[in-house]
Amino acid sequence: MARVGIKKNDMVVILSGEDKGKVGKVLATYPGKDRVLIEGINIIKKALRKSQDKPKGGIITKEHPIHISKVMHQERYDARRKKRGGTPAVAEA
């Protein structure tokens, strides 16, 4: 397990996968599993069973953790892009 300096509330850029290039805020870190939960990234759908709270059940959407190797601090990413002559990442609202 390598120590990576990504903490809660940091702004990060996704480096690979379906959400490549998107920017989001870290909601939680799971250092034992090397994963991070990022706001608005890696959205999954989950079926809910009928219960007293939700008598009809249903399908919800929520964020799912992604591996820490797929993210980089936004400041570091922008500095790297500037050095290589690219455009910096833009945060999506």
**pLDDT exceeds 90 at position 83:** no
The residues with which 38 forms a beta bridge, in sequence order, are 26
pLDDT digits (tens, 9 = 90+) for 11-54: 999 999 999 999 999 999 998 999 999 999 999 999 999 999 88
Q: How many CB atoms lie within 10 A of CB 37?
A: 19
Q: How many CB atoms lie within 10 A of CB 80?
A: 13
Spell out the domain ranges in the chain.
11-84
Q: Give the integer Cα–Cα distance in Å for 68 and 2.
A: 10
In this prediction, residue 2 has a pLDDT band, given cuts at 50, 70 and 90, of low
In this prediction, residue 82 has a pLDDT band, given cuts at 50, 70 and 90, of confident
Q: Give the integer Cα–Cα distance in Å for 64 and 31.
A: 15
Q: How many CB atoms lie within 10 A of CB 81?
A: 14
Any idea which fold 11-84 has?
Answer: SH3 type barrels. (2.30.30)
Instruction: Write the DSSP string, 38-69.
Output: ETTSSEEEEEE---SS-TT-EEEEEE--EEGG
- Looking at residue 85, its pLDDT comes to 81
Q: Give the integer Cα–Cα distance in Å for 54 and 73.
A: 39
pLDDT digits (tens, 9 = 90+) for 3-17: 668 999 999 999 999
